[in-house]
Amino acid sequence: MKAIANDLIAEQALVDVLLADLTEKEWMLPLPGCAPWDIRDAVLHIAFFDYAANKLMRGEAEDLVTLAYAEAGQDKDYRPTAFYHLSGREALQWWREERTRLAAAFFNMNPKDRIPWAPGMPMSARSLCSARLMELWAHSVDIYDALGKDVEVRDRIDSTLFLSWQARAFAYRINGFEMPDTPLYLELTLPSGKLWSRGEPDAANVIKGSAKDWALVSVRRRNWMDTGLTVTGDEARRYASIVQTYAGAADAAPAPSSLRD
Protein backbone atom coordinates (compact mmCIF):
# COMPACT_ATOMS: atom_id res chain seq x y z
CA MET A 1 0.00 0.00 0.00
CA LYS A 2 2.82 2.39 0.85
CA ALA A 3 4.39 1.90 -2.59
CA ILE A 4 1.29 2.96 -4.53
CA ALA A 5 0.63 5.79 -2.06
CA ASN A 6 4.20 7.04 -2.62
CA ASP A 7 3.60 6.92 -6.38
CA LEU A 8 0.47 9.04 -5.92
CA ILE A 9 2.38 11.59 -3.82
CA ALA A 10 5.17 11.78 -6.40
CA GLU A 11 2.71 12.39 -9.23
CA GLN A 12 0.89 15.03 -7.19
CA ALA A 13 4.19 16.84 -6.63
CA LEU A 14 4.98 16.74 -10.35
CA VAL A 15 1.61 18.25 -11.26
CA ASP A 16 1.95 20.84 -8.49
CA VAL A 17 5.16 22.10 -10.10
CA LEU A 18 3.25 22.45 -13.37
CA LEU A 19 0.60 24.61 -11.68
CA ALA A 20 2.49 26.53 -9.01
CA ASP A 21 3.48 29.60 -11.05
CA LEU A 22 0.43 29.98 -13.29
CA THR A 23 -1.11 33.41 -13.61
CA GLU A 24 -4.87 33.75 -13.12
CA LYS A 25 -5.12 34.27 -16.89
CA GLU A 26 -3.35 30.94 -17.46
CA TRP A 27 -5.68 29.20 -15.03
CA MET A 28 -8.48 30.03 -17.47
CA LEU A 29 -6.78 28.48 -20.50
CA PRO A 30 -9.16 26.04 -22.25
CA LEU A 31 -8.32 22.35 -22.30
CA PRO A 32 -7.92 21.06 -25.88
CA GLY A 33 -10.41 18.29 -26.48
CA CYS A 34 -12.23 18.95 -23.17
CA ALA A 35 -14.36 21.97 -24.03
CA PRO A 36 -15.65 23.91 -22.18
CA TRP A 37 -13.25 22.96 -19.33
CA ASP A 38 -10.28 25.14 -18.42
CA ILE A 39 -7.26 24.43 -16.19
CA ARG A 40 -9.07 25.60 -13.05
CA ASP A 41 -11.95 23.22 -13.83
CA ALA A 42 -9.51 20.31 -14.02
CA VAL A 43 -7.91 21.12 -10.67
CA LEU A 44 -11.28 21.71 -8.99
CA HIS A 45 -12.41 18.34 -10.34
CA ILE A 46 -9.31 16.56 -8.99
CA ALA A 47 -9.60 18.34 -5.64
CA PHE A 48 -13.29 17.54 -5.29
CA PHE A 49 -12.81 13.84 -5.93
CA ASP A 50 -9.92 13.71 -3.45
CA TYR A 51 -12.24 15.49 -1.00
CA ALA A 52 -14.97 12.95 -1.76
CA ALA A 53 -12.59 10.04 -1.23
CA ASN A 54 -11.62 11.49 2.14
CA LYS A 55 -15.24 11.81 3.23
CA LEU A 56 -16.09 8.30 2.06
CA MET A 57 -13.10 6.82 3.90
CA ARG A 58 -14.19 8.61 7.07
CA GLY A 59 -17.72 7.23 6.70
CA GLU A 60 -19.20 10.71 6.23
CA ALA A 61 -20.96 9.98 2.93
CA GLU A 62 -22.85 7.07 1.38
CA ASP A 63 -21.36 6.94 -2.11
CA LEU A 64 -19.64 9.14 -4.68
CA VAL A 65 -22.68 9.80 -6.87
CA THR A 66 -24.85 10.98 -3.97
CA LEU A 67 -22.04 13.17 -2.65
CA ALA A 68 -21.29 14.71 -6.04
CA TYR A 69 -24.92 15.63 -6.64
CA ALA A 70 -25.22 17.07 -3.14
CA GLU A 71 -22.03 19.13 -3.00
CA ALA A 72 -20.31 19.58 -6.37
CA GLY A 73 -22.95 21.60 -8.20
CA GLN A 74 -22.10 19.69 -11.37
CA ASP A 75 -23.37 21.23 -14.59
CA LYS A 76 -24.10 19.34 -17.80
CA ASP A 77 -20.35 19.23 -18.50
CA TYR A 78 -19.57 17.80 -15.03
CA ARG A 79 -17.77 20.92 -13.85
CA PRO A 80 -17.89 21.41 -10.03
CA THR A 81 -19.54 24.84 -10.18
CA ALA A 82 -20.17 24.93 -6.41
CA PHE A 83 -16.49 25.86 -6.07
CA TYR A 84 -16.36 28.54 -8.74
CA HIS A 85 -15.86 31.17 -6.05
CA LEU A 86 -12.27 29.89 -5.78
CA SER A 87 -9.53 31.46 -7.88
CA GLY A 88 -6.96 29.26 -9.55
CA ARG A 89 -4.51 29.76 -6.68
CA GLU A 90 -7.23 28.98 -4.15
CA ALA A 91 -8.21 25.84 -6.07
CA LEU A 92 -4.58 24.71 -5.95
CA GLN A 93 -4.43 25.30 -2.20
CA TRP A 94 -7.63 23.33 -1.67
CA TRP A 95 -6.22 20.45 -3.67
CA ARG A 96 -2.99 20.54 -1.65
CA GLU A 97 -5.00 20.22 1.58
CA GLU A 98 -7.24 17.40 0.36
CA ARG A 99 -4.47 15.39 -1.28
CA THR A 100 -2.39 15.56 1.93
CA ARG A 101 -5.30 14.14 3.92
CA LEU A 102 -5.84 11.49 1.26
CA ALA A 103 -2.22 10.34 1.22
CA ALA A 104 -2.13 10.12 5.01
CA ALA A 105 -5.30 8.02 4.97
CA PHE A 106 -3.92 5.64 2.35
CA PHE A 107 -0.70 5.14 4.32
CA ASN A 108 -2.72 3.95 7.32
CA MET A 109 -4.94 1.50 5.42
CA ASN A 110 -4.72 -2.16 4.53
CA PRO A 111 -4.66 -2.60 0.73
CA LYS A 112 -7.79 -4.76 0.95
CA ASP A 113 -9.83 -2.36 3.10
CA ARG A 114 -13.15 -1.64 1.38
CA ILE A 115 -14.23 1.94 0.66
CA PRO A 116 -17.69 2.89 -0.66
CA TRP A 117 -17.40 4.49 -4.09
CA ALA A 118 -19.98 3.96 -6.81
CA PRO A 119 -23.40 2.92 -5.44
CA GLY A 120 -23.20 -0.73 -4.40
CA MET A 121 -19.64 -1.00 -5.72
CA PRO A 122 -17.03 -0.56 -2.97
CA MET A 123 -13.35 -0.42 -3.97
CA SER A 124 -10.30 -1.74 -2.18
CA ALA A 125 -7.95 0.89 -0.79
CA ARG A 126 -5.27 -0.15 -3.26
CA SER A 127 -7.66 0.06 -6.23
CA LEU A 128 -8.91 3.47 -5.16
CA CYS A 129 -5.35 4.76 -4.78
CA SER A 130 -4.50 3.45 -8.27
CA ALA A 131 -7.64 5.07 -9.66
CA ARG A 132 -6.79 8.44 -8.10
CA LEU A 133 -3.29 8.20 -9.58
CA MET A 134 -4.69 7.36 -13.02
CA GLU A 135 -7.24 10.17 -12.97
CA LEU A 136 -4.67 12.70 -11.79
CA TRP A 137 -2.33 11.77 -14.64
CA ALA A 138 -5.16 11.84 -17.18
CA HIS A 139 -6.16 15.37 -16.20
CA SER A 140 -2.53 16.46 -16.04
CA VAL A 141 -2.34 15.51 -19.74
CA ASP A 142 -5.11 18.04 -20.38
CA ILE A 143 -3.13 20.68 -18.48
CA TYR A 144 0.13 19.91 -20.31
CA ASP A 145 -1.76 20.19 -23.60
CA ALA A 146 -3.35 23.50 -22.61
CA LEU A 147 0.08 24.91 -21.72
CA GLY A 148 1.66 23.57 -24.91
CA LYS A 149 4.09 21.38 -22.96
CA ASP A 150 5.18 17.79 -23.51
CA VAL A 151 3.41 15.32 -21.24
CA GLU A 152 5.61 14.04 -18.39
CA VAL A 153 5.56 10.33 -17.63
CA ARG A 154 7.43 8.14 -15.14
CA ASP A 155 7.53 4.40 -14.50
CA ARG A 156 4.62 4.80 -12.07
CA ILE A 157 2.44 5.00 -15.18
CA ASP A 158 2.32 1.20 -14.77
CA SER A 159 -0.79 1.69 -12.60
CA THR A 160 -2.60 3.16 -15.59
CA LEU A 161 -1.29 0.36 -17.83
CA PHE A 162 -2.63 -2.20 -15.35
CA LEU A 163 -6.05 -0.55 -15.32
CA SER A 164 -6.14 -0.55 -19.12
CA TRP A 165 -5.72 -4.33 -19.07
CA GLN A 166 -7.85 -5.03 -16.01
CA ALA A 167 -10.78 -3.05 -17.44
CA ARG A 168 -10.83 -4.77 -20.84
CA ALA A 169 -14.19 -6.46 -20.23
CA PHE A 170 -15.67 -3.17 -19.04
CA ALA A 171 -14.44 -1.34 -22.15
CA TYR A 172 -16.01 -3.92 -24.43
CA ARG A 173 -19.29 -3.87 -22.49
CA ILE A 174 -19.80 -0.08 -22.49
CA ASN A 175 -19.18 -0.10 -26.25
CA GLY A 176 -21.81 -2.80 -26.81
CA PHE A 177 -19.44 -5.72 -27.46
CA GLU A 178 -18.90 -9.10 -25.90
CA MET A 179 -15.26 -9.56 -24.95
CA PRO A 180 -13.91 -12.30 -27.25
CA ASP A 181 -11.65 -15.20 -26.34
CA THR A 182 -9.11 -14.03 -28.92
CA PRO A 183 -5.60 -14.15 -27.42
CA LEU A 184 -3.92 -10.76 -27.26
CA TYR A 185 -0.48 -9.54 -26.22
CA LEU A 186 0.36 -6.09 -24.86
CA GLU A 187 4.07 -5.19 -24.56
CA LEU A 188 5.10 -1.70 -23.51
CA THR A 189 8.39 0.01 -22.74
CA LEU A 190 8.45 2.10 -19.56
CA PRO A 191 10.45 5.35 -19.45
CA SER A 192 13.27 3.51 -17.65
CA GLY A 193 13.52 1.03 -20.52
CA LYS A 194 11.92 -1.81 -18.59
CA LEU A 195 9.28 -3.89 -20.35
CA TRP A 196 5.73 -4.19 -19.03
CA SER A 197 3.56 -6.87 -20.62
CA ARG A 198 0.28 -8.74 -20.30
CA GLY A 199 -1.34 -11.51 -22.32
CA GLU A 200 0.07 -14.28 -24.48
CA PRO A 201 3.40 -13.55 -26.21
CA ASP A 202 2.61 -15.87 -29.13
CA ALA A 203 -0.76 -14.22 -29.87
CA ALA A 204 -1.49 -13.03 -33.40
CA ASN A 205 -3.08 -9.83 -32.06
CA VAL A 206 -0.33 -7.65 -30.62
CA ILE A 207 0.11 -4.09 -29.33
CA LYS A 208 3.67 -2.87 -28.80
CA GLY A 209 5.23 0.49 -28.15
CA SER A 210 5.93 3.04 -25.44
CA ALA A 211 4.08 3.02 -22.13
CA LYS A 212 3.48 6.75 -22.62
CA ASP A 213 1.70 6.26 -25.95
CA TRP A 214 -0.50 3.46 -24.64
CA ALA A 215 -1.35 5.38 -21.46
CA LEU A 216 -2.39 8.40 -23.53
CA VAL A 217 -4.62 6.14 -25.62
CA SER A 218 -6.11 4.33 -22.64
CA VAL A 219 -7.18 7.56 -20.91
CA ARG A 220 -8.79 8.64 -24.22
CA ARG A 221 -6.46 11.60 -24.79
CA ARG A 222 -4.93 10.33 -28.04
CA ASN A 223 -6.04 8.18 -30.94
CA TRP A 224 -3.76 5.15 -31.30
CA MET A 225 -3.33 5.96 -34.99
CA ASP A 226 -1.54 9.19 -34.03
CA THR A 227 0.99 7.41 -31.80
CA GLY A 228 4.06 5.25 -32.41
CA LEU A 229 2.23 2.11 -31.27
CA THR A 230 2.39 -0.99 -33.44
CA VAL A 231 -1.07 -2.55 -33.49
CA THR A 232 -1.33 -5.88 -35.29
CA GLY A 233 -4.56 -7.81 -35.86
CA ASP A 234 -8.24 -6.89 -36.03
CA GLU A 235 -8.91 -7.57 -32.36
CA ALA A 236 -5.88 -5.56 -31.28
CA ARG A 237 -7.13 -2.64 -33.38
CA ARG A 238 -10.58 -2.87 -31.80
CA TYR A 239 -9.12 -2.99 -28.30
CA ALA A 240 -6.90 0.01 -29.05
CA SER A 241 -9.99 1.86 -30.31
CA ILE A 242 -12.18 1.28 -27.23
CA VAL A 243 -9.75 0.93 -24.28
CA GLN A 244 -10.84 3.09 -21.32
CA THR A 245 -9.35 3.10 -17.83
CA TYR A 246 -12.06 5.08 -16.04
CA ALA A 247 -15.69 4.39 -15.16
CA GLY A 248 -18.73 5.84 -16.85
CA ALA A 249 -20.12 5.78 -20.36
CA ALA A 250 -17.91 5.08 -23.35
CA ASP A 251 -15.92 8.12 -24.43
CA ALA A 252 -14.94 8.54 -28.05
CA ALA A 253 -11.25 8.69 -28.82
CA PRO A 254 -10.03 11.90 -30.48
CA ALA A 255 -10.35 11.76 -34.24
CA PRO A 256 -7.05 10.66 -35.85
CA SER A 257 -5.13 13.17 -37.91
CA SER A 258 -4.62 10.41 -40.50
CA LEU A 259 -5.83 6.83 -40.94
CA ARG A 260 -3.65 3.74 -40.89
CA ASP A 261 -4.12 0.79 -43.20
pLDDT tens digits, one per residue of 110-151: 999 999 988 888 999 999 999 999 999 999 999 999 999 999
Parse the chain into domains and list their residue ranges: 2-152, 158-242
Q: What is the mean pLDDT of each run of 10 residues along the chain (261 residues)?
A: 95 98 97 92 97 95 91 92 97 98 95 90 93 97 97 97 96 96 97 98 98 98 97 97 94 89 72
- pLDDT value of position 236: 98
Pairing of strands 205-210, 184-189: parallel
Query: How far, CA to CA in Å, does 167 sit from each of 5, 110, 172, 175, 218?
Result: 21, 23, 9, 13, 10
Give me the pLDDT at residue 119, please: 82
Asked: is 158-242 a CATH 3.30.310 domain? The reply is: no
Cis peptide before 119 (omega within 30 of 0): no
Among candidates 101, 134, 127, 133, which has minimal Cα distance to 112? 127
* pLDDT tens, residue by residue, 39-65: 999 999 999 999 999 999 999 999 998
Question: What is the rounded CA–CA span in Å between residue 250 and residue 60?
Answer: 30
2-152 folds as Four Helix Bundle (Hemerythrin (Met), subunit A) (1.20.120)
Contact status, residue 244 vs residue 167, Cβ threshold 8 Å: yes
Nearest Cα to Cα of residue 208 among 175, 234, 231: 231
Contacting residues for 25 by C-beta, under 8 A, at least 6 apart: none
